[in-house]
């Protein structure tokens, strides 16, 4: 899962601003350092929204020369996409749990940072949402 940041030069520093994530931005002294800082800022912003029960926005594709594509950790991407899909289906955690044959507490754990998801559980939850789970190994 990727979000795009708009990169601008601010004096001696570089700024990455995520328009899909209001208030999520970071500065760095070089473009190289900006990449790592942008990933940390974005992941922190997304995790905070999940912890507070909010639905992080879906990333939109933009065009332009001053864009930085920032990928997030796959475990975090699962949580974000699950929360987004549940919200889009207009289901509570309890509703989704009943459909998937798991507990509401399990759905809550899957949507919060810090718990590793079991692939079989993810497949049940995805099926309850009318979706599938896809795992892919990519070259670094």
Residue-wise pLDDT tens digits, 46-60: 999 999 999 999 999
The reported pLDDT for the residue numbered 42 is: 98
What residues pair up with 26 in beta bridges, in sequence order?
A: 16
Fold of the domain spanning 74-128: 434 Repressor (Amino-terminal Domain) (1.10.260)
Mean residue pLDDT across the chain: 93
Q: Which CATH number fits domain 2-71: 1.20.58.100, 3.30.160.250, 3.20.20.70, 3.50.50.60?
A: 3.30.160.250
Give the pLDDT band (50/70/90) at residue 64: confident
CA–CA separation, 96 vs 83, rounded Å?
11
Kindly report, as residue ranges, where domains of CATH 1.10.260.40 are found in the chain: 74-128
Structure tokens at 120: 């079989």
Task: Dig out the tokens for 57 from the structure.
Answer: 């926005």
Residue 114 binned pLDDT confidence (cut-offs 50, 70, 90): confident
pLDDT tens, 20-42? 999 999 999 998 899 999 999 99
- Confidence band of 2 (pLDDT split at 50, 70, 90): very high
Residue 118 binned pLDDT confidence (cut-offs 50, 70, 90): confident
Q: Which two tokens stand for residue 105?
A: 């507490």
Q: Which regions of the chain carry the CATH code 3.30.160.250?
A: 2-71
Note the pTM of the prediction, 2 decimals: 0.89
């Amino acid at each position: 899962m990727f979000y795009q940041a708009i990169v601008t030069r601010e004096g001696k520093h570089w700024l990455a601003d995520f328009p899909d994530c209001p208030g999520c931005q970071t500065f760095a002294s070089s473009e190289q350092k900006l990449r790592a800082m942008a990933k940390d800022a974005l992941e922190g912003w997304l995790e905070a929204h999940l912890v507070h029960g909010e639905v992080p926005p879906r990333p939109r594709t933009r065009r332009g020369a001053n864009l930085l594509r920032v990928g997030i950790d796959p475990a975090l991407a699962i949580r974000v996409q699950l929360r987004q899909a549940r919200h889009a289906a207009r289901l509570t955690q309890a509703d989704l749990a009943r459909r998937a044959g798991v507990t509401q507490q399990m759905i809550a754990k899957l949507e919060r940072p810090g718990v590793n998801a079991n692939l079989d559980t993810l497949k049940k939850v995805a099926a309850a949402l009318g979706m599938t789970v896809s795992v892919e190994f990519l070259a670094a």
